[in-house]
Amino acid sequence: MIYQILMRLGHLAGCHQLPDRSFHIHGCQFPLCARCTGICAGYVLTVLLTPFFQLPWTLAGTFCTIMFLDWLLQYTQLKKSTNLRRFVTGTLCGYGLMSIYFKLLLILAEIIVKRRG
């Protein structure tokens, strides 16, 4: 029952959940594909690492671009991606994207504080 709920949540999150693009443990498919799993891992890494290291804007953007390029190569059938590569590029993108979100939130917070002060 929990497995079905997780699979439904993965689908609702927008993941295609293709079996050949997902990890499996003991014959059970992950609720998210390898790329979406990596993106979530990147989000978690950002939350854990941001207090110690803030990713520069350019590197955050580069991390997102790397995942896009992997997707584009796969989509145009120039190079077949693997689940490991999908996971790694997804993790980089998740880390970069969440870093951008954090930076934008800090800028917004500064604007609000200035307007109140």
> Does residue 93 contact residue 46 with C-beta atoms inside 8 Å?
no
Give the Cα separation of 68 and 110 in Å (integer).
31
For the chain, give every domain's residue range: 34-116
For residue 9, the model assigns a pLDDT of: 86
Compute mean pLDDT per 10 residues along the chain, 117 residues long, and list them.
87 90 92 95 96 94 96 93 95 97 95 89
Give the Cα separation of 1 and 58 in Å (integer).
43
For residue 10, the model assigns a pLDDT of: 86
For residue 1, the model assigns a pLDDT of: 84
For residue 82, the model assigns a pLDDT of: 95
